[in-house]
Amino acid sequence: MNMNKPENKAAFTRYSRLPTEQSNPRTRDLDRIPLRRVLEKLNLEDALIPKAVAKAIPRIEKAARAVARSYLSGGRIFFIGAGTSGRLGVLEAAEIPPTYGVAPGVFTALMAGGQDAVFLSKEGAEDIFGDGRREISKLARRGDTVIGIAASGITPYVQGGLSAGNKAGAVTVLVTCNPREKAKEATIRVTLDVGPEPVSGSTRMKSGTATKLALNMLSTASMIISGKIYRNWMVDVKTTSRKLVLRAERITATVGGVGQEEARRLLDITGNDVKTAIVMARLGVSKEIAAARIKKARGFLKNILG
């Protein structure tokens, strides 16, 4: 790259001003202090993250409502990102279906550089605006939600995806750690102002942690207001492993007010449908009646059980 070209000089200046690229005055001695002190400093920096996330709660709330609206209306939700940000989106899309009984494909993650980049970094892939735009253009429709994840806020691949989401009529969300970026491509901006990283520019650190917290809150809250939780139990859990089978039995027994053997019997009758088994246990009704009550309540057990 010829840094003497005007466009390269402009890029150099722009990137050097990013909050995520600044030098942290509290950690400028990391390479000359004892290891224990290094760890203490890293921990102190991490302790700043929850406050930054707390300030973003109003925007996280808006994003969670958008996701819930998309889900309940039959739309889809897309996470799009590069590097650490992209991998955090992959985690969300992978973990939501078994936890909340969501069909495959409703939550989808798109990663700059494709699936291989989840395991092996392809740094240059994040610079291609057209890739993000093309991938989202093929998938997003009105009623969907596109969540762009970019610590810097200016990742071209993510900007391309958000631009395509807007054109398709989807709600667009940007989760970023750059409070200066206005992101005209995003309908909702979730800004996490965590300050400079302990190691300058290493956004897998505070930025990654803050983003993970915000995404956890966003997805969990959206599922709560979509009827996927009763009190604090995941009543739509899918029994895809022994651990989850035992969890389903425990939830059914606890919420249904029955013993483990009866919980197992009801789950066998319902094909491991925890909600139906709970309603059968609590109300003493048949599988068919329980299923009808759940459908009428739009999946919200609180509307049936109180």
Q: Look up the CATH architecture of domain 229-305.
A: Orthogonal Bundle (1.10)
Residue 81, H or E segment: strand 77-81
Q: Is residue 7's pLDDT more than 80?
A: no
Q: Is residue 12's pLDDT more than 70?
A: yes
| Tens digit of each residue's pLDDT (9 = 90 or more) over 176-212 | 999 988 778 899 999 999 999 999 999 999 999 999 9
- The Cα–Cα gap between 227 and 274 comes to 13
Residues of the chain with CATH 1.10.8.1080: 229-305
Q: Which of 195, 264, 190, 211 is nearest to 92 (CA)?
A: 211
The pLDDT mean for the chain works out to 94
pLDDT at 4: 55
Q: Between residues 106 and 19, which one has the greater pLDDT?
A: 106
Classify domain 49-224 at the CATH topology level: Rossmann fold (3.40.50)
Q: Is residue 5's pLDDT more than 70?
A: no
Task: Say which residues have a Cβ less than 8 Å from residue 264's Cβ, sequence separation at least 6.
Answer: 249
- The Cα–Cα gap between 59 and 72 comes to 20
- Beta sheet of 77-81, edge-to-edge order: 107-111, 77-81, 145-149, 171-176, 188-191
Catalytic sites, residue numbers:
95, 126
What amino acid is encoded at 166 in this protein? N
Q: Which of 245, 195, 163, 187 is nearest to 63 (CA)?
A: 187
Strand partners, 222: none
Residues of the chain with CATH 3.40.50.10490: 49-224
Q: Is residue 177 a contact partner of residue 210, using CB atoms and an 8 Å limit?
A: yes
Count Cβ atoms below 10 Å from residue 218 Cβ, excluding itself.
26
Identify the band that residue 296 occupies on the pLDDT scale cut at 50, 70 and 90.
very high
